[in-house]
Structure 1
Amino acid sequence: MKNIAILASGEGTNAERIIRYFEEKEEVNVAVVIASRASAGVIKRVEHLHVPCRVVTSAGFASGEALQVLQEYKTDFVVLAGFLLRIPDAILHAYPKRMVNIHPSLLPKFGGKGMYGIHVHEAVLKAGEEESGITIQYINEKYDEGDYIFQARCPVLPDDTPETLAERVHQLEYQYYPEVIEKLVLCLK
């Protein structure tokens, strides 16, 4: 069995979907969720799912505490789900091509520092784009510049607001992210 860790900073809707997806799977186990702040909604969301959740602040990531937690839970693969901190080099080096993120746009458009959540959807609409979507990618030292693994698209409708576009993009995330994670984890040696 391969153990995955989920890193999250927000409400945890993707984290919950991923945990539920793997509940009945025999080959992949969500071993731990690491929240980057004590007020993150993900903590309450995963509480009833019987997955350990640890809070590691930005200082804890910088000091190596997060890497220790990943090692403690014998993590084989790391999944970012709404995680907003920069990943320290020590973790990047410990999990090369074993750490993925999902971004709510079709990268390379609308990526980089500060481009997350509703900010992305506002930028897509402001630019007059006709489509948006998701990008699943490996993590590297720069925000949203890792190798792309998968993209899925959806239309931008003439009457879209940032919130309606976000909902359509979330549906793509919920549908595809767990499936892509499973394929990647099952290919690990």
Structure 2
Amino acid sequence: MGKKIAILASGSGTNAENIIRYFREKGLDYVSLVLTNRQNAFVLERAKGLNVPCAYFGKSDWENGEAILSMLQEYRIDFVVLAGFLARVPDNILHAYPNKMINIHPSLLPKFGGKGMYGDRVHEAVIAAGEKESGITIHYTNEHYDEGAIICQERCVVMPEDTPDSLAHRIHALEYEFYPKVIDELLNSTK
């Protein structure tokens, strides 16, 4: 497998920036492209600031996927990383990257996953359910939200006094620590 990564993100892009910086600190410019489904997503500014090519595609492009797939092919992308990406990935893109597209979810799947379960909604649900632990799940992406094969999970304690914000803080720390390492391991374990 090559070493050209595309990151798909919908929001501020902290995970995207963390991944880009992780590889650059190792002297590797693996992240070749950042794509978003939100015109004003701050991830675009982060990518530009790090000199990573980036683009926005509107809803109809994400529904049929052709223009996005064409750009991924133009940049010779080998591996796709979802980092806070909140749209469904079209089937033609999924099929072009079998076992080469991963996502991170802020809970211990299969709990608290599925359509509409992201960000604070997940943390609120974890706390409301009285869970004693939460964490992150890194998994392969397939046709169903948060149902791809699990690659790894990392855990943290849910404290009795936790708020969605305090839990999110610990979850983000796990994301920043483990997501780039798992991507690195996957890239180096596949030929």
Q: Distance in 2 between matches of 1:104 and 1:52?
A: 27
Identify unmatched segments of 5+ residues in structure 2: none
**Which residue is 1:8 aligned to?**
9
Paired letter, 1:44: E
Contact persistence 1:118–1:163 (CA under 8 A):
yes
Matches within 5 A, 1:74-113: 74-113=76-115
For normalisation by structure 1, the TM-score amounts to 0.97
Deviations 1:71-116 (CA, angstroms, capped at 9, x unpaired): 1110000000000110111011100000000000000000000000
Aligned-residue Cα RMSD (Å) equals 1.1
Q: Distance in 1 between matches of 2:19 and 2:28?
A: 14
Identify unmatched segments of 5+ residues in structure 1: none
Contact persistence 2:20–2:29 (CA under 8 A):
no
**Which residue is 1:21 aligned to?**
22
Q: Shift of the alpha carbon at 1:187?
A: 2.0
Report the more deviating stretch, 18-27 or 96-105.
18-27
Q: Count matched residues.
A: 189
Deviations 1:47-71 (CA, angstroms, capped at 9, x unpaired): 2111011111221122311111111
Please point out which of 121, 126, 129 is paired with 1:127.
129
Q: Shift of the alpha carbon at 1:188?
A: 2.5
Contact persistence 1:28–1:185 (CA under 8 A):
no
**Which residue is 2:40 aligned to?**
39
Contact persistence 1:5–1:79 (CA under 8 A):
yes
**Which residue is 1:153 aligned to?**
155
Q: Distance in 2 between matches of 1:49 and 1:28?
A: 11
Paired letter, 1:16: E
Q: Shift of the alpha carbon at 1:28?
A: 5.8
**Which residue is 2:178 aligned to?**
176
For normalisation by structure 2, the TM-score amounts to 0.96
Paired letter, 1:148: I
Contact persistence 1:137–1:149 (CA under 8 A):
yes
% identical aligned pairs: 60
Q: Distance in 2 between matches of 1:143 and 1:35?
A: 18
**Which residue is 1:162 aligned to?**
164
